[in-house]
């Protein structure tokens, strides 16, 4: 039996370009275009000019030698360290006030914190303190100085499935992000591998969500990674995943081609939307234990959270998915078989934001007339001696991952696969 699941609205035709890890040239970095006279430099002069410029480029910072990892109770921690985020102003930030940019674009902290950081000079423009209403201009470099507390990740080893002169194939553990982004830098697959293998650069050809485990293709040079990326874009690589979902998934082949849209980039939140991008996933049940089902998933496109969103849309979300399961405050707003419009999507985003916990620290401490803390519970919370950040409890190991695993990738004349996780075995008991 073959069932095709589609929403009433037809998806718009679109092409998704996958971002590659490339070095940003001077123009794209917001620097001025060279004059004709400068362009007339001899080749060796150009090389010296570029080399000198790259030596001064803040994006080339390599601090892996100084990172200190701590492994405890199955968790990998990074010893907190001082760090300054620096970035060239993006086009969409231009002509916007600095406070507005930070509170809208970086939603892992609240407005109170960003006011504090701008007023105290932790957030700067071109290395200088600016007022809250400073308007961001072209060529501006935004800086954010922090005592960095990276989130805790799994300490499960990264298994090497295959290695040759220009390729590493790994079995990524669930509970660790692939590459540096947001609050993660050293607690990432790329930095852990670079440090363990003593290699200067790694080029992932595919990505997996932080809680997802499974197979990854990582080039030791950019050319090998581009080869795999090109094959993926052309649909020449067959991908197979396994997952464990709520309930008794139907027998037979189930195809879902509901269009998916990213409804919040900063929250990495996606769902079926009337303006979504075309995508397709084929599912097949492998087993059922009376409570949950193990399902094989074959994504034919590569949208963010595609498998997780399609399973929720079908009514069988991944059983321990912290975003798309049924036990979140926003779950009722993402109904089974429901195609969202912009108004409905905004309600989901707002609900997720309301449920988010912002970091606590000296920037949101309040005092009463007697100069004492109004919330006595804050006094008892452990704090970082360096920055005053209220320290949170360690997560449970099982909370870091979900039951979704990239099992097998195959192309023309090659195939790699990992072992099946314990949770995907028929004998597994929740």
- Catalytic positions: 209
The Cα–Cα gap between 7 and 314 comes to: 11
Cα 78 from chain centroid (whole Å): 18
- Closest C-alpha to 232, from 40, 409, 417, 22: 409
Contact assessment for residue 278 and residue 261, using Cβ atoms and an 8 Å cutoff:
no
Contact assessment for residue 225 and residue 202, using Cβ atoms and an 8 Å cutoff:
no
Residue 77 CB partners (closer than 8 Å, separation 6+): 69, 70, 71, 150, 152, 187
Q: Is 42 helix (H, G, I), strand (E, B) or coil?
A: coil
- Closest C-alpha to 391, from 77, 112, 121, 107: 77
Q: What are the Cα distances from residue 141, in Å, to 53, 92, 136, 146?
A: 16, 14, 9, 16
Buried/exposed 109-135: b ≥16 CB within 10 Å, e otherwise: beeebbbbbbeeebbbbeeeebeeebb
**What are the beta bridge partners of residue 162?**
169
Q: Say how many C-beta atoms besides its own lie within 10 A of residue 418's C-beta.
A: 20
CA angle 59, 60, 66 (to 5 degrees): 110
Q: Is 294 helix (H, G, I), strand (E, B) or coil?
A: strand
The Cα–Cα gap between 136 and 139 comes to: 9
Contact assessment for residue 406 and residue 241, using Cβ atoms and an 8 Å cutoff:
yes
- Closest C-alpha to 134, from 114, 106, 148: 114
């Amino acid at each position: 039996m073959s069932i095709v699941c589609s929403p009433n609205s037809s998806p718009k035709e679109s092409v998704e370009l996958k971002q590659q890890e490339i070095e940003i040239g001077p123009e794209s970095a917001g620097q001025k275009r060279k004059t004709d006279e400068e362009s007339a430099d001899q080749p060796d002069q150009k090389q010296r000019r570029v080399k000198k410029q790259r030596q001064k480029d803040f994006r080339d910072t390599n601090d892996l030698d100084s990172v200190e990892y701590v492994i405890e109770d199955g968790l990998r921690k990074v010893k907190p360290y001082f760090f300054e985020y620096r970035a060239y102003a993006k086009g969409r930030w231009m002509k916007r006030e600095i406070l507005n940019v930070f509170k809208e674009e970086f939603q892992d902290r609240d407005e109170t914190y960003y006011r504090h950081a701008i007023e105290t000079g932790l957030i700067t423009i071109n290395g200088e303190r600016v007022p809250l209403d400073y308007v961001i201009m072209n060529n501006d470099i935004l800086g954010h100085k922090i005592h960095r507390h990276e989130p805790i990740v799994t300490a499960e080893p990264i298994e090497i499935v295959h290695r040759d002169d220009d390729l590493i194939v790994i079995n990524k553990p669930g509970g660790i992000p692939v590459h540096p982004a947001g609050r993660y830098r050293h607690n990432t697959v790329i930095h852990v591998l670079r440090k363990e293998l003593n290699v200067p650069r790694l080029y992932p050809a595919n990505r997996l969500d932080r809680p997802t485990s499974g197979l990854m293709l990582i080039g030791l040079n950019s050319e090998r990674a581009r080869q795999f990326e090109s094959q993926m874009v052309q649909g020449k690589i067959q991908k197979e995943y396994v997952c464990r979902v709520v309930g008794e998934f139907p027998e037979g082949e189930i195809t879902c081609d509901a269009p998916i849209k990213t409804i919040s980039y900063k929250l990495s939140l996606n769902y079926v939307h009337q303006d979504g991008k075309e995508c397709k996933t084929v599912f097949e049940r492998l087993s059922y234990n009376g409570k949950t089902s193990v399902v094989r998933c074959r994504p034919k496109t590569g949208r963010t959270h595609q498998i997780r969103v399609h399973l929720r849309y079908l009514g069988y979300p991944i059983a321990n998915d912290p975003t798309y399961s049924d036990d979140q405050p926003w779950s009722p707003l993402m109904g089974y078989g429901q195609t969202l419009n912009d108004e409905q999507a905004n309600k989901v985003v707002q609900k997720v934001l309301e449920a988010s916990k912002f970091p606590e620290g000296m920037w949101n401490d309040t005092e009463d007339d007697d100069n004492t803390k109004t919330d006595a519970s804050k006094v008892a919370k452990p704090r970082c001696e360096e920055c005053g950040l209220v320290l949170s409890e360690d997560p449970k190991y099982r909370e870091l991952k979900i039951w979704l695993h990239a099992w097998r990738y195959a192309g023309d004349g090659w195939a790699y696969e990992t072992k099946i996780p314990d949770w995907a075995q028929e004998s597994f008991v929740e």
